Amino acid sequence: MTRAALMRCFFLALAFALAEGSAHADYILLSPGEAAVAGQPVSLYLMITNETEQPLDVSVPAELELRFSTPREAVNATFAADPAPPTETIHLAPQTFRKIRYTGTLPGALEGTASIAVRNVTSNNVIISVQAAAAPSTAAAQEAPSAPANLRSPAFFSALSSYDPMYFAVGVGTNSETTSKFQLSLKLQFFTEDSSLARRTPFLHDLYFGYTQTSLWNLAQTSSPFYDTSYQPRLFYYSPQIWESSGRGVRLGLETGLGHESNGRSGEDSRSVSTAYVKPIFTLGEPAAWHWTIAPKLLAYLNTTDNPDIADYRGYAELEVAYGKDDSWQFKVWGRKGPAGFATQVDVTYPLPGLTFGNLNGYLLLQYFDGYGESLLSYNQRMKSQFRLGLAVIR
Q: Are residues 165 and 129 in the same domain?
A: no
Alpha-carbon distance of 287 to 59, in angstroms, equals 25
Q: Are residues 220 and 366 in the same domain?
A: yes
| C-alpha closest to that of 217 among 262, 176, 261, 171 | 171
pLDDT of residue 155: 55
pTM: 0.65
Alpha-carbon distance of 69 to 289, in angstroms, equals 11
Domains contained in the chain, number: 2
Query: Can you tell me whether residue 155 is helix, strand or coil?
Result: helix
Domain-ending residue, one of 133, 167, 197: 133
Q: Are residues 11 and 71 in the same domain?
A: no
Query: Can you tell me whether residue 248 is helix, strand or coil?
Result: coil
Whether omega before 145 lies within 30 degrees of 0, making that bond cis, reads no
Other CB atoms within 10 Å distance of the CB of residue 389: 12
Backbone angles phi, psi at 22, to 5 degrees: -80, -20
Q: Are residues 95 and 200 in the same domain?
A: no
Beta bridge partner(s), residue 260 = 274
- The answer to the question of residue 153 being in a domain is no
**Where do the H-state alpha helices sit in the chain?**
3-18, 138-143, 149-152, 154-158, 196-200, 310-314
- The answer to the question of residue 138 being in a domain is no
- The answer to the question of residue 23 being in a domain is no
Tens of pLDDT along the chain (395 residues) come to: 565 555 555 555 554 444 444 434 478 888 775 668 888 898 888 888 887 778 888 888 999 999 888 766 778 899 999 888 878 888 888 878 888 989 999 888 788 788 898 888 888 888 888 888 765 544 444 554 544 544 445 556 668 888 999 999 999 877 677 889 999 999 999 987 667 787 788 788 899 999 999 999 888 776 667 889 999 999 999 998 899 888 778 999 999 999 999 999 999 999 999 999 999 999 999 877 899 999 999 999 999 999 999 999 999 999 999 999 988 999 999 999 999 999 999 999 999 988 887 778 899 999 999 999 999 999 999 988 999 999 999 99
Q: DSSP readout, 59-98?
A: E--SEEEEEEE-SS-EEEEEEEESSPPSSSEEEE-TTEEE
Side chain identity, residue 131: Q
Beta bridge partner(s), residue 296 = 319
- The answer to the question of residue 25 being in a domain is no
Q: Which residues neighbour 268 within 8 Å (Cβ) at sequence distance 6 or greater? A: none
pLDDT of residue 372: 96
- The answer to the question of residue 57 being in a domain is yes
Q: Cite the beta strand spans of 190-326 per DSSP E.
A: 207-218, 226-244, 250-262, 272-284, 291-303, 317-324
Query: What end-to-end distance do the CA atoms of the chain give, in Å?
Result: 32
- Report CA 35 to chain centroid distance, whole Å: 17
Q: Are residues 102 and 218 in the same domain?
A: no
Alpha-carbon distance of 354 to 365, in angstroms, equals 14
pLDDT of residue 300: 98
Domain containing residue 246: 3-16+159-394
- Report CA 31 to chain centroid distance, whole Å: 12
Other CB atoms within 10 Å distance of the CB of residue 265: 15
Alpha-carbon distance of 336 to 296, in angstroms, equals 10
